Structure 1
Amino acid sequence: MPDLPPEGSAREWLRFSLEQAWHQMADILGPGGFAAIVADAQFTGLFRDALRPYDEALAARLREDARAGLVRADVDAEGVVSLLLGAWLGELVRRGRVDDEWLDRSLDLLWPVLDPERA
């Protein structure tokens, strides 16, 4: 199960939560797991089950922060989660690895869309 993010800004908790989800994909599933997903639909279900608590926690927190005005009120929480999890997978496919700074680079790209000051 995901850890609760520490106190901090919406961007800080988003980074913390994504780091956990990406860790789950990298260390629990790994590159071999992605190959197994392509070959075995049953394994795909197991992977989704392992990632689901992280996915759901991240989307729920985005919705809470949207209601609290910490991110844009009209944020598509499910879409943001898919984009950010997909960014990790896309980097793995493109480069064969995901460097530590990829998380911050991804947040830098997406934060202007989430920032309530820019709404």
Structure 2
Amino acid sequence: MPHSTTGRGRPRLESTDHRILQAARELLRLKGPAAVNIDSVAARSGVARTTIYRRYRSRNELMDAILEHLIDPAPLAPELPVREKLRWVLDRISDILENRLGPGATAAVIANSDPEFTTAVRARLAARLSSLTDLMKLDIKTGRLHANLDPDTVLGILVGAYLAEVLRFGSPRDGWTDRALDLVTPAVTPPRRRRS
């Protein structure tokens, strides 16, 4: 059975580490940061409180461990036409809000119900989204996007549109992404020059 050693005592089981972090992530995604504490993680994971405390001396250490892998840097999109690159950006937004943060953590960030958590998430989001704004800046330089475009504003519009769709309907409706791209793509791309 896989394990890692800490230098003293019995070796740590990776499966135990996984159960602890999985339970903490589920609580965070579903109920927000206020639901994540050593007692709730112990109850959900089936791992004894003492075992969790051996790995994480406090709730803050546990939260840091969750956030470390919750929002990782986004890989750069492959070379795509603008419309497909915007689709790729919407997919990243969906992944962050639905799969990584989940409704509980997203609501906590929007409401700023846990300022320390909000600050930590925003810092990680800024790092992840910076690769997306860098892509847009490159497309501005090459003329694929309007010269006066502000990448952060475009990302804000995409995040806002996605959140509005989820708030109204629970999840994006069939064909929503294509309809959103039909509106956004012409607004961010310069008109094609006609050949003489």
Scaled by the length of structure 1, the TM-score of the pair is: 0.84
Q: Counterpart in 2 of 1:31?
A: 103
Greater RCO, CA 8 A, separation 6+ = 1
Moved segments of 4+, more than 6 Å = none
Structure 1 gaps, min length 5: none
- Larger relative helix fraction: 1
For residues 127 and 90 of structure 2, the distance between their equivalents in structure 1, rounded to whole angstroms, comes to 12
Structure 1 residue 91 and structure 2 residue 165: aligned? yes
* Root-mean-square deviation over aligned CA pairs: 2.1
Q: Select the structure of larger CA radius of gyration.
A: 2
Question: Could you tell me whether the CA contact under 8 Å between 2:76 and 2:132 is conserved in 1?
Answer: no
Q: Counterpart in 2 of 1:6?
A: 78
Q: For 1:72, give the aligned amino acid.
A: H
> Mean alpha-carbon deviation: is it higher for 69-78 or for 50-59?
50-59
Q: Counterpart in 1 of 2:11?
A: none
How far did residue 114 of structure 1 move?
1.0
How far did residue 28 of structure 1 move?
0.9
> Mean alpha-carbon deviation: is it higher for 100-109 or for 4-13?
100-109
How far did residue 54 of structure 1 move?
3.3
For residues 4 and 58 of structure 1, the distance between their equivalents in structure 2, rounded to whole angstroms, comes to 7
Percent identity over paired residues: 35
Q: How many residues align?
A: 119
Scaled by the length of structure 2, the TM-score of the pair is: 0.54
Q: Counterpart in 2 of 1:54?
A: 128
